């Protein structure tokens, strides 16, 4: 059988760093082939080379057995290769139809909307994609927006589709539907390259290629391997998946939120009547699909967003509306979800980032000047203690990998916080090894008597760490459940807006 796509000896270097080293990869017609690996293993580089974003330094790409030159995404599309990005590139004010035909028009000035509509209806029908072509994109839920991206690729006659972390923003239900569509496409002879972190999705593929440090470690039939083996191949060592969570009785209440409501820039309600509490030795998990108010909740709790109504009590004191400074001084630590934008100054060194927010503290000053020696000593301590992979404390934080950057934030917040830690998506985009590390650190703080609010899109995170899980949907808490007596599927229903059914 000829391969749909074959890559031979592909090598790509960036400024002396090797991102893909002699990679061989092939994709059969009608196959789902998964690219699996840690961040920085070279998955994105490989797919970007295939789609023409990067030009490989060496190597050859074959489509249907023929050697091809893919110098740009336009070339890729010409060869029937399509790509759906993690972050969609749609114009919210355009309709689905407009989004698909604008910019994908091959010739002529007129939009030929009628022809396009006919073709798209046919595509939708054959793959079981249900989407209103005249709906505005802003009206669509995130899952449907992704279908629009897929439609766009199919409209361009893609035979090979690259899906980059397609379920990152989907509910479990939406993911299931996506995989049905993928299955339908494969049945019709399309080939799928699936890039993912999630083992459950890897296991739905036909074959899987594991990448580590830019090299192909193995290409396996999925039916002949196991999640344990894949993780071992990916990380290069054994990883214990479940961190042990000791049973601890919650202590006195640290944070109590009552009827918290906040409005957005346009007056829309972003947080609606939120109430919960967290006690010492307790982790409250916040589940929910991205964009359902988690970010706004954390912004209010850490003081960068003002609430419109409701009370936030920290050890009994009403702190609603206080500044970030005042909350930090009261012992609140915050691990934001956008670490390079909100958590770090990328141009600052590790040492400077470790005292960010505490630069005026007498601990780090001698007279009017900052105490460079004390800060450097502290930074060296933290680098050792948190196993931050960096040459020394003067390295700019922006040069660190996501995992090491996150360790800098965690080190800083754990060092300065006392009592309450707010962690929003602390494991997002991190390697398995680092995720395990972050989880253990959070449990350690729980053991020390901290109260922790932890939001994560990875339900596995919450189920292994949280003492209780609050599920958010459209700015509301749909229910607070006990992970010991609740299934992931039940939480999934709440995440999609279903009410807690008959349980108390």
Partner 1 sequence: MIQFERRTETSGVWTTISFAVASLAGLAATAVLLASTGADVLQVFGALVKGAVGSPKALATTLVKATPLILTGLATVVAFRAQIWSIGQEGQVFAGAMGGYLGAQLLAGLPALLFFPGVLAFGIAGGMAVAWLSALLRNRFGVNEIISTVMLNYLAVYLLSWLLQGGPWGETGGTISYHQSPMLPDAAFLPALMGSSRLHAGVLLPFLAAAICALVMARTPLGFEIRGLGYNPEALRHKGVNIGRTVTLIMLSSGALAALAGAIELFGVTHRLRADNLIGLGYAGIIVGMIGGLSAWGTVLAGLFFGALASGAVYMRVLGDVPAALVPAIQGITLFLFLCAGVLARYRIVRVVVQ
Task: Please report, as ranges, the residues that interact with partner 1 according to CB under 8 A.
Answer: 15-16, 55, 57-58, 60, 302, 304, 323-325, 328, 334, 336, 341-348, 352, 356-357, 359-360, 365, 368-370, 372, 399
Q: Are 310 and 398 in contact (CB under 8 A)?
A: no
- 70/287 with CB nearer partner 1: 70
Helix (H) or strand (E) holding 454, with range, is strand 451-455
Residue 418: both structure tokens together: 């006392």
Q: Compute and round to an integer the Cα radius of gyration of the chain.
A: 24
- 221/360 with CB nearer partner 1: 360
Q: Give least dist CB 62 to partner 1, A.
A: 14
User: Among residues 156, 149, 191, which one has the least CA distance to residue 78?
Assistant: 156
CA distances from 168 to 91, 171, 391, 483 (A): 20, 9, 32, 22
* Owner of token pair 């030009």: 55
- 134/377 with CB nearer partner 1: 377
- 52/492 with CB nearer partner 1: 52
Where b means 16+ CB within 10 Å and e means fewer, 191-227 reads: bbbbbbbebebbebbbbbbbbbebebbeebebeebee
Convert 203-226 into a string of H (helix), E (strand) and C (coil). Answer: CCCCEEEEEECCEEEEEEEHHHCC
Residue 469: both structure tokens together: 């899980």
Q: Give least dist CB 341 to partner 1, A.
A: 5
Q: Give least dist CB 444 to partner 1, A.
A: 23
If one counts every other C-beta atom within 10 angstroms of the C-beta of residue 154, the result is: 24
- 144/416 with CB nearer partner 1: 416
Q: Are 84 and 146 in contact (CB under 8 A)?
A: yes
Q: Are 147 and 175 in contact (CB under 8 A)?
A: no
d(CA 32, CA 329): 52
Q: Give least dist CB 327 to partner 1, A.
A: 8
d(CA 495, CA 292): 9
- 287/344 with CB nearer partner 1: 344
Q: Give least dist CB 347 to partner 1, A.
A: 4
Q: Give least dist CB 372 to partner 1, A.
A: 8
Q: Give least dist CB 419 to partner 1, A.
A: 16
- 365/440 with CB nearer partner 1: 365
DSSP 354-391: HTTT-TTSGGGEETTEE-HHHHHHHHHHHHHHTT---S
Q: Give least dist CB 328 to partner 1, A.
A: 5
Q: Give least dist CB 213 to partner 1, A.
A: 18
- 112/330 with CB nearer partner 1: 330
- 174/352 with CB nearer partner 1: 352
Q: Give least dist CB 106 to partner 1, A.
A: 28
First CA to last CA distance, the chain: 57
Q: Give least dist CB 346 to partner 1, A.
A: 7
* Owner of token pair 């080190």: 411
User: Among residues 466, 425, 417, which one has the least CA distance to residue 250?
Assistant: 466
- 60/121 with CB nearer partner 1: 60
- 90/354 with CB nearer partner 1: 354
Between strands 215-221 and 207-212, the pairing is antiparallel
């Amino acid at each position: 059988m000829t391969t749909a796509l074959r890559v031979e000896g592909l090598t790509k270097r960036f400024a002396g760093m090797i991102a893909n080293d002699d990679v061989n990869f092939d994709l059969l017609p009608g196959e789902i082939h998964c690219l699996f690996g840690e961040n920085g293993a070279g998955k994105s580089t490989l797919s970007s080379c295939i789609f023409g974003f990067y030009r490989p330094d060496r190597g050859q790409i074959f489509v249907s057995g023929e050697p091809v030159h893919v110098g740009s995404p336009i070339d890729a599309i010409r060869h029937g290769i399509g790509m759906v990005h993690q972050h969609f590139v749609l114009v919210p004010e355009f309709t689905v139809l407009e989004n698909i035909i604008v910019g994908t028009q091959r010739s002529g000035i007129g939009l030929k909307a009628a022809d396009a509509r006919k073709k798209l209806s046919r595509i939708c029908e054959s793959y079981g994609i249900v989407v209103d072509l005249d709906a505005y994109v802003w009206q669509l839920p995130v899952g449907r927006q992704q279908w629009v991206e897929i439609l766009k690729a199919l409209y361009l006659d893609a035979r090979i589709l690259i899906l980059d972390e397609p379920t990152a923003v989907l509910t479990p239900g939406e993911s299931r539907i996506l995989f049905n569509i993928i299955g339908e496409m494969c049945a019709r002879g399309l080939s799928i390259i699936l890039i993912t972190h999630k083992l459950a999705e890897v296991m739905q593929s036909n074959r899987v290629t594991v990448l580590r440090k830019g090299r192909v470690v193995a290409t396996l039939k999925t039916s002949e391997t196991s999640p344990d083996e894949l993780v071992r191949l990916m990380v290069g060592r054994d990883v214990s998946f479940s961190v042990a969570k000791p049973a601890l009785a919650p202590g006195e209440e640290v944070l109590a939120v009552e009827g918290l409501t906040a409005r957005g820039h346009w007056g829309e309600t972003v947080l609606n009547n939120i109430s919960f509490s967290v006690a010492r030795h307790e982790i409250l998990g916040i589940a929910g699909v991205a964009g359902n108010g988690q970010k706004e909740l954390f912004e209010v709790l850490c003081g960068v967003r003002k609430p419109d109504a409701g009370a936030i009590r920290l050890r009994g004191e009403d702190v609603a509306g206080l500044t970030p400074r005042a909350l930090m001084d009261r012992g609140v630590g915050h691990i934001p979800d956008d670490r390079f934008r909100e958590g770090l100054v990328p141009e600052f060194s590790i040492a400077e980032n470790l005292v960010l927010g505490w630069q005026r503290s007498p601990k780090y000053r001698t007279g009017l000047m900052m105490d460079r020696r004390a800060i450097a000593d502290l930074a060296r301590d933290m680098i050792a203690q948190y196993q931050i992979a960096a040459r020394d404390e003067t390295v700019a934080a922006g040069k660190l990998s996501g995992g090491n950057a996150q360790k800098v934030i965690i080190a800083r917040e754990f060092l300065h916080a006392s009592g309450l830690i707010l962690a929003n998506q602390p494991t997002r985009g991190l390697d398995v090894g680092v995720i395990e590390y972050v989880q253990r650190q959070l449990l350690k703080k729980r053991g020390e008597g901290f109260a922790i609010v932890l939001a994560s899109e990875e339900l596995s995170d919450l189920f292994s760490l949280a003492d209780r899980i609050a599920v958010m949907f459209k700015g509301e808490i749909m229910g607070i459940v006990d992970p010991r007596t609740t299934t992931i599927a039940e939480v999934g229903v709440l995440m999609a807006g279903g009410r807690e059914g008959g349980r108390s």
